[in-house]
Structure 1
Amino acid sequence: MTLTDMTLTDTVLDHLSTHVPFAELQHLTVGLVAVPGDADYEALVSPWNLAVAVRPAAVLAAATAHDVVEAVRFAARHDLLVTPQATGHGAMAELVGELLVATSGLDECVVHPEGWARVGAGVKWARVVEAAAPYGLAPLSGSTTDVGVVGYTTGGGLGPMARTYGLAADRVRAFEVVTGDGVLRRATPTEHPDLFFGLRGGKGTLGIVTAVEFDLVHQPTFLGGSLWFDGADAAAVVERWRDWCTDLPELGTTSFALFRLPAMPGVPPQLAERLTLSVRYVWTGDAAEGERRFAPMRAAAPVLLDDVAVKPYAAIDSVHTDPLDPMPATEAAAVLTGFPAEAAAALLAVAGPASTSPQVLVEVRQMGGAVARGGEHPSAFCSRGAAYAVLLVGIPGVPGVAEHAEQVIRTMGPWVGGHRMPNFTFDPGRLVEAYDAPTLTRLRAAIGTYDPDGVMAIGHALDV
C-alpha cells in the first residue's frame, strides 16, 4: 500500500460512510461515532493546522481505552485503516485512514508529588504544568503547552529545556497502547520492550497510545523568555548568537527566530508589520549566573523588547511565543550538522532583511547537551547527533510561500545532515528519513508483530 492509496476521495468516502456499518461501532463503544453530514463530524475531525484536510469516513470520539480497542478491532474486521488524533497539531492528510479515533476525551491527569505523572492521550501540557506547579515540579513540555502530551512525546519531544534535561521521550516510564491487533498493552523497559523502544520516537506507527507515565523535573522557576531586535540588526545578532551559544553550558537552551508578524491582538506594536529577530533563552540553574551568561546577547544590538526574567515554569510559553489558536500553516524543517558563519550568511540572504521572504517564522534551535547523550533506555529517536534544527512556518495562500521554504532548505543543504526529527517531518513520504537502518528494522519488526494486518495508517509510511 502506498500513501497515495490511503487518500480518500469524496466518492470513496461517501461509499464507505454508506456501506460500512459504523452504527455497529456506536453500539460497541461509549464515545460518539460521527460520519460526514453529522452535526459533530466537523468539530471532531478538524486539526489544529486548518490547512490540513482531515476527511475520514467516520470518527470515534473515544471515551475510554476500551473504545479504542473496539475501534481497532472494528477496523480490522472491515478492512479499514485507523489514525489517532488528539489536538491535531501534527496532522498529515495522507496518513488519515478511513476511521479516525479522536483521543481528546481521554483526559486523565494525575501528578504524584514524588515526581512523576500519568496522563491520558487527550491531555495537553498546560494541564500537567498547572498540576505539577504546587510541588515545584515541571514536565518536559514543548515550545507551547497547548500541544498534546502523547503526540509530542512519541515524536521525541524537543522542548525549551532540552539541553539540560533531554527529550520528553527520555523521561517516559510506561505507555498504555492499543496495537493494530486490537490488544491494549502496557509497554515499559521490561514489558514489551520493543514497543517501549519504538513508541519513543516512532510516532503513531505502532499503535494508539491511550495513556503515558513519565518523570517530572524539579524546576519551579527558570530564567528566560525572548529578547527582540530589529530585523535590520539580524546579521550582527545572529553572529553574536553563534559565538555565544558555542560555549553555553547545558543549563542553557536557546534558539533564534526571524519573525514577520501581522498587526493583530497579542502582537506588541513594536513587533508588528516588520522583520524582527527573537533570541529565546531558558536557563535552569542559578538566576544570577544565567543573567551573567546572557549579558552578551543583550549587548548585541539595540533591543526592542526584553522579556527575559525569572519566571515560574507556568510562564514557559513566553519563551517561544507560539500561537495558541488553530490556524492554517505551511511548514518545513531540517537538522544541521553545524551552523558556521557561512551558514548564517546563507540563511540571512534568503530570509533576512534584504530578502523578500514570505515566511512568518524562520527558526534555528541549538541542540546538543542532554539531547545528544540520550536517556537511560534507547529509543527510536535518531536525531541526537544534530547540532541545530531549522524550522520554517508560513501562511498558505501567500504567493510562493511553499517554494520559498524549499529554497531555504536547499540553501542550507551544505549543512543539512543526519536524520529528520519525527515531530518536524511534514511530508509522510519522508518519515523514513527520521530513522537509521537498524531503527527502521526494529520498527518494521514491531509492526509485523503487533499489527500484522497493517491496521495502523501511520505505520504504512515506513513501507517505502
Structure 2
Amino acid sequence: MTQPNTAELARAVQGAVLRPGDPGYAEECAGFNPIHPLTPAIVVAAESVDDVRHAVRFARDNSMPVAVKATGHQVVDPAAEALLITTRRLDEVSVAGRVARAGGGARWQQVLDEAAKSGLAPIAGSAPSVGVVGYSLGGGLSPVLGRKYGYAADHVRRIEIVTADGEFRVASADSEPELFWALRGGIGNFGVVTAIEFDLFPHPRFYGGALYFPGADTEAVLRAWREWVPTLPEEATTSVMVQRLPPMPELPEPLRGAFVVHLRFAHLGEAAEAERLLAPMRAAAPAVLDLIGEKPFTSIAEIHLDPTDPIPHFSGGASLGELSTATVGKLVELTGPDSDCPLLGVELRALGGAFDREPAVPNAVPSRGVPFALYALGVGGPDAMPTMGAYFDRIVDGLRPWTTARRTPTFLVERDATPAGVRAAYGDAVHDRLAAVKRAYDPANTFRFNHNIQPAG
C-alpha cells in the first residue's frame, strides 16, 4: 500500500507526526501490554483538539482507518494500516462545583487528586493509572462507589468528540442525544473523545482495603463470601481474587511468591459499621495480611493493588448469572490449592445495587442485572499465552451452567473482539441500536480497532 504524503499534515498540526523508525515512534505507540504492540502506519501525537481534527480529516481524505490511544490499556489490534492518534497530552483536569472536566488523555489519579481538594470523589476504577475516557466509555466499575451510584458512564454529563467526518461535536442529553447514549458504553467506536465532564460525589474517605487469606482456605473463604455478599448494603462494594503471586520485592513480605485469597472491600460509612459488616469474612479463615482501615479516597489503589507498570499479560472475562454452592465448588476445583491453575489471579466482582438501575439519562451499558463479573489475569511472555488461554477456556467451560452472555464493556479483552463476541456482550437490542448510531456517525467504520460495532446495513 502506498503511504500518503504527511508533509501537509505535519505543517497543520502542533504535535509530532511519526512513521515507523522515527525517533519517538515506539514510545508513542507503547501500550500497557507489550504482548499486543501497536504498529500504525502514521502516528499523530495530538496536542490540541485542532490536531485531532486535522488528523481525522487527513485519514478520511486518504481512506485510512483511525486508531486512538490514551494509556493503551485496551489494545485489541495492532492497527498496522492505521493512522494512530495519541491523546495523552490532552490531560487537563479541572473541578467546578461537583463536576469534573478531564481531557482525552487524563488519568484517574489526576482527577482523584484534584477532586480531593474539594472533599469530592469520582467513580474511578481500581487502577488510578488508567485513562478517564476509555474507562468511562466502557461503563466503569468502581471498587468504592459502584454499588451506591452505579457505573461511571451513568454520571457523564457531556462528551466532546471529533467524529469520522472530522467535525467537532458536543454530545449530551440535549445535544446529539443518540450519540451520547451510544458513547456511554460503546467504548471507542464513534470518534476521538477530546474531553469529558462528569459528576463528583461527597466522599473524601472510605473504610476498606485488602484482606489476604491463605490459599489453602480458598474454599472456606469463597463459600463465606458467597453467603456474605447478599447481606451487604449498597454502601459496601467487594470483590475477591484467588492469587498466585510472583516473588516480587515490591510486594509485602507475606505475599511474595504466595498463594492467597485476596478480599477487596470498601464501605462509605463509619468504621464501626464497616467492621460489623466485615466480621463474617474475618471469621472465615485466619488472615495472612490485613490492610483494612480508614483511607483517603485518593488511596483507592490500595484495595486491589493492581499493577501500575506495563507488563506482558493474558486477560479474560465472563459474567455469572448466579453464584451457587455448586458454582463455588467448581471455582475451587479450577483455582484452588489442588488445581494446576497457571494464572496469576481469578477474580469475582459483586455487582448489584445501583449497577442494576438505569441512570436518569439511559446509556448503552449492557450489563444491568448481571450479579457477578469474572476476570482472570496471567503474567508471562508470548510462549505462555497458549497455556494461560487454554486454562481460562477450561474455567469458562467449567462455569458454563452459570454464565450469562451480557458483559461489562470495561472487562472486554482482546479475545472478545469478534463480531459474535461483541454482539453477545451487548445483546441484540443494544448492539443493533449501537450499529444504527455507527452508521449515522461512522458509516465507513473508520474507528474499527476496538471491540468493533460495525455499521448497520
Taking structure 1 as the reference length, the TM-score comes to 0.94
The equivalent residue for 1:237 is 221
In structure 2, stretches of 5+ residues that fail to align are: none
Across the aligned residues of Structure 1 and Structure 2, the Cα RMSD in angstroms comes to 1.4
Task: Kindly state the Cα deviation for residue 220 of structure 1 after the two structures are TM-superposed.
Answer: 0.5
The answer to whether the aligner puts 1:276 opposite 2:260 as a matched pair is yes
Which digits, 9 at most, give the CA deviation of each residue in 1:211-236, with x for residues without a partner? 00000011110001010000001101
The answer to whether the aligner puts 1:56 opposite 2:74 as a matched pair is no
User: Is contact 2:423-2:431 (8 Å) kept?
Assistant: yes
User: Is contact 1:239-1:344 (8 Å) kept?
Assistant: yes
Amino acid at match of 1:282: A
Q: Secondary structure at the match of 1:403?
A: helix
The equivalent residue for 2:392 is 405
Aligned length: 447
Between the aligned partners of 1:408 and 1:172, the Cα distance in structure 2 is 35
Between the aligned partners of 2:431 and 2:453, the Cα distance in structure 1 is 8
The equivalent residue for 1:446 is 437
The equivalent residue for 1:12 is none
User: Is contact 1:96-1:457 (8 Å) kept?
Assistant: no
Match of 1:23 among 1, 4, 7: 7
Q: Secondary structure at the match of 2:396?
A: helix
Write the mapping of 1:221-300 to structure 2, written as runs, cut at 5 A.
Answer: 221-300=205-284
Between the aligned partners of 2:422 and 2:377, the Cα distance in structure 1 is 19
Write the mapping of 1:129-168 to structure 2, written as runs, cut at 5 A.
Answer: 129-160=112-143, 161-168=145-152
Task: Kindly state the Cα deviation for residue 71 of structure 1 after the two structures are TM-superposed.
Answer: 0.9
The equivalent residue for 1:8 is none
- Specify whether residues 268 and 459 from structure 1 end up closer, same or farther in structure 2 by C-alpha distance, changes over 3 A only: closer
Amino acid at match of 2:336: G
Amino acid at match of 2:220: A
The answer to whether the aligner puts 1:457 opposite 2:440 as a matched pair is no
Task: Kindly state the Cα deviation for residue 417 of structure 1 after the two structures are TM-superposed.
Answer: 0.6
Q: Secondary structure at the match of 1:344?
A: helix
Match of 1:362 among 343, 346, 350: 346
User: Is contact 1:337-1:418 (8 Å) kept?
Assistant: no
Between the aligned partners of 2:218 and 2:334, the Cα distance in structure 1 is 13
Q: Secondary structure at the match of 1:303?
A: coil
Between the aligned partners of 2:406 and 2:78, the Cα distance in structure 1 is 21
Q: Which moved more, 1:446-455 or 1:199-208?
A: 446-455
Q: Secondary structure at the match of 1:330?
A: strand
Between the aligned partners of 1:128 and 1:318, the Cα distance in structure 2 is 17
Which digits, 9 at most, give the CA deviation of each residue in 1:40-88, with x for residues without a partner? 1000001111111211001111101111111111111111000110000
User: Is contact 2:129-2:308 (8 Å) kept?
Assistant: yes
Q: Secondary structure at the match of 2:342?
A: coil
Q: Which moved more, 1:21-30 or 1:353-362?
A: 21-30
User: Is contact 2:327-2:402 (8 Å) kept?
Assistant: yes
Match of 1:378 among 355, 358, 362: 362
User: Is contact 2:41-2:80 (8 Å) kept?
Assistant: no
The equivalent residue for 2:411 is 424
User: Is contact 1:343-1:415 (8 Å) kept?
Assistant: yes
Between the aligned partners of 2:50 and 2:440, the Cα distance in structure 1 is 21
The answer to whether the aligner puts 1:126 opposite 2:117 as a matched pair is no
Q: Secondary structure at the match of 1:377?
A: coil
In structure 1, stretches of 5+ residues that fail to align are: 1-14
User: Is contact 2:40-2:78 (8 Å) kept?
Assistant: no
Task: Kindly state the Cα deviation for residue 22 of structure 1 after the two structures are TM-superposed.
Answer: 2.0
Task: Kindly state the Cα deviation for residue 459 of structure 1 after the two structures are TM-superposed.
Answer: 7.1
Match of 1:436 among 410, 427, 432: 427
Between the aligned partners of 1:456 and 1:236, the Cα distance in structure 2 is 46
User: Is contact 2:438-2:453 (8 Å) kept?
Assistant: no
Amino acid at match of 1:436: G
Amino acid at match of 1:156: G
Between the aligned partners of 2:326 and 2:219, the Cα distance in structure 1 is 12
Task: Kindly state the Cα deviation for residue 319 of structure 1 after the two structures are TM-superposed.
Answer: 0.5
Between the aligned partners of 2:21 and 2:366, the Cα distance in structure 1 is 42
Between the aligned partners of 2:249 and 2:15, the Cα distance in structure 1 is 37
User: Is contact 2:39-2:79 (8 Å) kept?
Assistant: no
Which digits, 9 at most, give the CA deviation of each residue in 1:240-276, with x for residues without a partner? 1111111111111000001111111321121122310
Amino acid at match of 2:433: R
The answer to whether the aligner puts 1:103 opposite 2:80 as a matched pair is no
- Specify whether residues 441 and 184 from structure 1 end up closer, same or farther in structure 2 by C-alpha distance, changes over 3 A only: same
Between the aligned partners of 1:138 and 1:280, the Cα distance in structure 2 is 19
Between the aligned partners of 2:81 and 2:220, the Cα distance in structure 1 is 48
- Specify whether residues 94 and 59 from structure 1 end up closer, same or farther in structure 2 by C-alpha distance, changes over 3 A only: closer
Q: Which moved more, 1:175-184 or 1:260-269?
A: 260-269
Between the aligned partners of 1:359 and 1:207, the Cα distance in structure 2 is 35
Amino acid at match of 2:396: I
The answer to whether the aligner puts 1:330 opposite 2:314 as a matched pair is yes
Between the aligned partners of 1:181 and 1:170, the Cα distance in structure 2 is 27
The equivalent residue for 1:82 is 66
Task: Kindly state the Cα deviation for residue 462 of structure 1 after the two structures are TM-superposed.
Answer: 2.3
Between the aligned partners of 1:181 and 1:453, the Cα distance in structure 2 is 10
User: Is contact 2:445-2:454 (8 Å) kept?
Assistant: no
Which digits, 9 at most, give the CA deviation of each residue in 1:364-416, with x for residues without a partner? 00000001013111111101111101000112333711110111111111111
Amino acid at match of 1:407: R
Task: Kindly state the Cα deviation for residue 292 of structure 1 after the two structures are TM-superposed.
Answer: 0.7
Task: Kindly state the Cα deviation for residue 460 of structure 1 after the two structures are TM-superposed.
Answer: 8.2
The answer to whether the aligner puts 1:40 opposite 2:31 as a matched pair is no
Between the aligned partners of 1:69 and 1:158, the Cα distance in structure 2 is 31
